[in-house]
A = this chain, B = another copy of it.
Amino acid sequence: MLYLVGVGLSSIEDITLKGLRVVKACDHVYIDAYTSILSHGIEEIEKLIGRCVNKADRECVEQTNVLIDYAKQSDVAFLVVGDPLAATTHLDLLTRCLESNVPVKVIHNASILNAAGCCGLQLYEFGETVSIPFWNELGRPESFFDKIEHNYMRGLHTLCLLDIQEKSIENILRRRDVFEPPRYMVCQQAAEQLLQTASRRSEASKVPRVETAMHAIVTPPPILTPECLVIGLARVGSDNCVITLSTLYEMARPNDAVPTPISQLLNGPLHSLIIPGRLQPLEIEWLMARERYSGNHKGDDLPHILISFEGEPATPFDAFCSEEIKRRRKMIIDSMFSYHCKHAIKSVVRGSD
């Protein structure tokens, strides 16, 4: 039997009791070491389950039948960060198991797809999830942008999963299956690619087009503007989770542009970026309540909500001490929300034409 055991988002403590029971009872334990980041070391897991854990790289899982062969004669646990079925490659593993007459069982856990709800946006109001790939010499795909715009026009939020790259350009070009320590895209890069796409398309739409006899081609105004509200998520589910609210423009600022840019506050991987659609009153109330609370409390367990805006250093709350700065911040947040809401509602109306 092959058990696919979700180990959740962050620490080994995120495994379920059922998951732990299964893993302890299995003859062999492997861990997926390539589709996500493992913030807890393998040693910690080994200590908890009392047995040796083998790292399974992409080649082992996708190109060999090692796991399946073991599972023919014994019980094998394959640990996967998050929920086991969030990544495509694991479905393929299950299919190959069944084709070899090896039974399989999945033990679910939280994944970023539901834990993204920690930012206060309602999961039911999300449209299609998108993946934003690294742009490089090999290409600058923009299909994620269409999907975000489509969700946005319908008033839906978009969760953007950010690329993880394990192969160098050289190895991709030479079609060599050499995997390197993964590079994780951060929110700042994702925001930069979004802004560049928005700007390129806005330019392109200015080129005069031939109008047909039937009806004039009307170019809609751009939807994702630099003033758009975005939510940055870092290390969701862990104790050092950070959530930021900012404009897209602020999020895209390179690290050296201002003293404490938002990308620095978000810090290390894993990051996800959310483009909110139309905000519901409940969602706005929560975001505002958290913002107020973060301003009044320091160092407690609530993931920080940090607000960044142009002209003011984007800051953790304790840098805001004076009343004047608090007042200014509130004003800017309020106007950011009202800009955003107005804009998103306009888009929705347009989208439903």
Contacts and interface: CB of A to CB of B under 8 A. Distances in A.
A301 B1 contact: yes
A128 interface: yes
A285 B93 CA distance: 11
Interface in A7-25: 8-9, 11-18, 20-21
Given A110-B109, A111-B114, A92 B282 contact: yes
Interface in A98-144: 98-99, 101, 103-106, 108-111, 113-115, 117-118, 120, 122-129, 131
A296 interface: yes
Interface stretch (A80-88, A193-201, A266-274): A80-88
A128 B114 contact: no
A256 to B, nearest CB: 34
Interface in A181-231: 214-215
Contacts of A58: none
Contacts of A108: 8-9, 14, 110, 114-115, 118, 236-237
B156 A91 contact: no
Contacts of A114: 83, 85-86, 108, 110-111, 113-114
Contacts of A124: 88, 128-129, 131
A106 B8 CA distance: 14
Contacts of A150: 154
Contact of A285 (B8, B86, B95): B95
A320 interface: no
Given A15-B16, A98-B290, A113-B113, A123 B129 contact: yes
Contacts of A103: 293, 297, 300-302
A248 to B, nearest CB: 22
Nearest to A92: B282
Interchain residue pairs A-B with the least CB separation, the first 3:
A85-B117, A108-B110, A13-B18
Interface of A: 1, 6, 8-9, 11-18, 20-21, 83, 85-86, 88, 91-92, 94-95, 98-99, 101, 103-106, 108-111, 113-115, 117-118, 120, 122-129, 131, 150, 154, 156, 214-215, 236-237, 282-283, 285-286, 289-290, 292-293, 296-297, 300-302
